[in-house]
């Protein structure tokens, strides 16, 4: 608590100085603390806030009235937004507002995120496009109902430079043509999973939007004709072609002679692409910075390696799934010394000697993926640790020969390490975690299936790795309540935690988890010792919980589910399959959780058909995906099934 004199000194600061102080606060939690100090600090927050991410749609009118100078608005957590809500926001900001200025908040808006806003249609988009004259970036990804009319409405935002339309399943060449003609200033466009798109639409896009620097057409059924069109884009720097089944080496030959500014290309999982096609790309673009060819090459050919000698500026290469020899490692290390990331997941032929040759020259490596490279031992890990002092991410899942000796080297030399995946590395033990805990910058640690670790090992992480925000303990059967106590005392920033099948965890352990206020994602499948008491502790303490998986938690009673319904208002996804929830508790959970979008409700033995139907009626306005027990297909009324279908809810039967 500040003394009176200290408070007086702080409040004597000029507005300009307070603004500069506020702008130095990067973390949202720090900014929240700032604006809670006093009215003057809250006023500074109002004056300077340019970015806003809204969690609860009911607070949106008040927030927009409070922050009229926004440049970026993220509504991805508000899937219920629709044309009616947009109309309200653009005509009257906040209940009871007497302001004659309509939609003032939209005047300076430059970036708008509407991802998963499935209720928004052409009318709402047209209003937004007209009300936001400065709009430069729009994200409508995963708006599955977004089609040609919506694209036409959005095309009136003539100043658009960035547009994300991933998984807009109704979009066709007609809608893309509207965007291409209306938004000719586009520099960045993503069309992943827009399955109705063809070569015709891509061709028109390339003719009209000649300033494109980023284009992603991954997962589309476009052919080599599209690559012929794309090759004409003189400013294109990034091209995403992941899992395009109809393109092959002939199409990549067009890229060799075109796209002179190309820096990044992704042809991963393209079945028709071979080393010959990549030779065309490499030969035509010696300034390439990133090459992603994961799971499309059977082997790294000698001819391709010869061409790679010219890639002196290459920073990222991913060749996951290919066969590679020790000679290949030598060529890469001798010529691609600028590498900062290498992906070798599931590559055949990766040996200790090969890795040693690689890292001896590539000392600037920051990311290394060796997932399922089963021949790797502590010798390779030691070489990596000694040579790559700047390493921030290491993935060695299923590398069973790694032991505490390798982790000792990582803990001694790789002090900048932020992420390590040790899933299914059975050689990892408590001593290894003690060594690894020296990496105080660690933020993501995956220890799934590491059955030789216990509470003692977890306590080292809890005491020393205070920046961890993601921890995977899947099937770590030696972990119990004492380990979770140490974790909750130190790792206050934990946001994602997997405790599934950690059989020793009880209600006491979940009580410690309830102290983690930042926790948003919790998996706790098959914790047979927990009851409603433990679930209540989590619901009360973890107010930011958005994703909860408690499949097979049979002993949790209704008291826990009632607490969940009352306290966990931010839940978006929940898995209650094989739980002992009753009809009444299920209706409360499904009805009270106003942000719930996805639910898995399979094998609820204590629920009746009538109870499940009532629960579905309680949430049918907002639920987007639900998984049900297969026999219910013939037991639920046709009325409720039609209502869910009409509202765009995807029903899956198990």
Which tens digit of pLDDT belongs to each residue from 315-358? 999 999 999 998 899 899 888 889 999 999 999 999 999 999 99
Query: Could you give the 3-state DSSP secondary structure of residue 341?
Result: strand
Least confident of 45-54, 150-159, 252-261: 45-54
Whole-angstrom Cα distance, residue 121 to residue 124? 6
Q: Is 421 helix (H, G, I), strand (E, B) or coil?
A: strand
DSSP3 helix / strand / coil % (the chain, rounded to 5): 40, 15, 50
Rounded to the nearest 10°, the torsion over CA 103, 104, 105, 106 is 70
Beta strands, E only, 356-414: 367-369, 393-395
How do residues 592-618 score in pLDDT, each as one tens digit? 998 898 999 999 999 999 999 999 999
In sequence order, what are the beta bridge partners of 214?
188, 238
What was the pLDDT predicted at 117?
87
Cα gap 419→423, rounded to integer Å? 12
Q: Which two tokens stand for residue 241?
A: 């072609």
What is residue 622's predicted lDDT score, i.e. its pLDDT? 82
Q: How far apart are CA 650 and CA 645, in angstroms?
A: 7
pLDDT number for residue 65: 85
pLDDT at 187 over 80: yes
Q: Give percent of the chain with pLDDT exceeding 70.
A: 95
- CATH of span 546-653: 3.80.10.10
pTM here is 0.90
> Tens of pLDDT along 189-222?
999 999 999 999 999 999 999 999 999 999 999 9
Give the DSSP letter of residue 631: G
What does the pLDDT average to over 279-289?
95
Residue 45 has pLDDT above 90, yes or no: no
- Provide the pLDDT for residue 92: 60
| pLDDT attached to residue 11 | 56
Q: What is the 3-state secondary structure (H, E, C) of 44-80?
A: HHHHHCCEEECCCHHHHHHHHHHCCCCCEEECCCCCC
The domain segmentation of the chain, as residue ranges, is 13-46, 546-653
Q: What percent of the chain has pLDDT over 90?
A: 78
Tens digits of residue pLDDT in 530-583: 999 999 999 999 999 999 999 999 999 999 999 999 999 999 999 999 999 999
Give the pLDDT confidence of 229-250 residue by residue, as tens digits: 999 999 999 999 999 999 999 9
Which tokens is 478 given? 């030696």
Residues 6+ apart with CB under 8 A from 98: none
């Amino acid at each position: 608590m500040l003394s009176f004199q200290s408070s007086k000194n702080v409040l004597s600061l000029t507005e300009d100085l307070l603004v500069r102080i506020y702008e130095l606060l990067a973390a949202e939690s720090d900014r929240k603390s700032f604006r809670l100090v006093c009215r003057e600090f809250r006023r500074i927050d109002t004056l300077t806030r340019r970015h806003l991410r809204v969690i609860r749609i009911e607070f949106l009118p008040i927030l927009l009235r409070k922050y009229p100078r926004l440049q970026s608005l993220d509504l991805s957590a508000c899937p219920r937004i629709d044309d009616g809500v947009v109309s309200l926001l653009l005509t009257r900001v906040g209940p009871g507002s007497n302001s004659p200025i309509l939609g003032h908040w939209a005047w300076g808006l430059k970036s708008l995120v509407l991802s998963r806003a499935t209720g928004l249609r052409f009318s709402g988009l047209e209003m937004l496009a007209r009300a936001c004259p400065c709009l430069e970036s729009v994200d409508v990804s995963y708006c599955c109902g977004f089609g040609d009319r919506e694209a036409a409405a959005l095309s009136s935002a003539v100043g658009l430079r960035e547009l994300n339309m991933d998984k807009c399943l109704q979009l066709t060449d007609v809608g893309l043509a509207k965007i291409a003609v209306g938004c000719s200033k586009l520099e960045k466009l993503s069309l992943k999973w827009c399955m109705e798109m063809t070569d015709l639409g891509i061709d028109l896009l390339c003719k009209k939007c000649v300033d494109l620097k980023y284009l992603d057409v991954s997962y589309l059924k476009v052919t080599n004709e599209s690559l012929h069109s794309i090759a004409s884009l003189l400013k294109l720097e990034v091209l995403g072609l992941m899992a395009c089944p109809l393109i092959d080496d002939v199409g990549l030959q067009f890229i060799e002679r075109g796209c002179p500014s190309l820096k990044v290309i992704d042809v991963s999982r393209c079945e028709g692409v071979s080393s010959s096609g990549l030779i065309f790309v490499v030969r035509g673009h010696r300034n390439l910075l990133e090459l992603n060819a994961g799971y499309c090459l059977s082997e790294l050919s000698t001819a391709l390696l010869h061409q790679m000698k010219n890639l002196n500026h290459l920073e990222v290469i991913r060749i996951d799934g290919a066969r590679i020899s020790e000679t290949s490692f030598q060529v890469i290390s001798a010529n691609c010394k600028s590498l900062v990331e290498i992906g070798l997941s599931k590559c055949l032929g990766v040996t200790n000697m090969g890795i040693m040759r690689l890292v001896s020259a590539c000392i600037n490596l920051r990311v290394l993926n060796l997932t399922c490279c089963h021949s790797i031992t502590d010798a390779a890990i030691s070489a990596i640790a000694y040579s790559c002092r700047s390493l921030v991410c290491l993935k060695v899942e299923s590398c069973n020969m790694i032991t505490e000796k390798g982790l000792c080297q990582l803990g001694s030399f790789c002090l900048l390490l932020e992420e390590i995946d040790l899933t299914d590395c059975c050689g990892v033990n408590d001593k290894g975690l003690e060594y690894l805990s020296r990496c105080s910058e660690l933020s993501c640690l995956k220890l799934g299936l590491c059955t030789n670790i216990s509470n003692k090992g977890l306590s080292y992480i809890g005491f020393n790795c205070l920046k961890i925000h993601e921890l995977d303990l899947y099937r770590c059967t030696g972990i119990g309540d004492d380990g979770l106590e140490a974790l909750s005392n130190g790792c206050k920033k934990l946001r994602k935690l997997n405790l599934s099948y950690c059989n020793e965890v009880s209600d006491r352990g979940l009580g410690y988890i309830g102290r983690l206020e930042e926790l948003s994602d919790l998996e706790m499948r098959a914790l047979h010792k927990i009851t409603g008491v433990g679930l209540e502790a989590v619901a009360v303490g973890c107010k930011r919980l958005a994703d909860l998986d408690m499949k097979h938690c049979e002993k949790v009673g209704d008291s826990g589910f009632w607490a969940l319904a009352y306290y966990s208002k931010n839940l978006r996804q929940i898995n209650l399959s094989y739980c002992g929830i009753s009809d009444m508790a299920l209706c409360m959970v499904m009805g009270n959780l106003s942000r719930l979008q996805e639910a898995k409700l399979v094998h609820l033995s204590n629920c009746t058909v009538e109870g499940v139907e009532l629960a579905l009626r309680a949430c049918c306005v907002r639920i987007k995906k639900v998984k049900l027990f297969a026999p219910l297909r013939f037991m639920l009324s046709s009325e409720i099934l039609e209502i869910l279908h009409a509202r765009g809810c995807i029903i899956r039967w198990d």
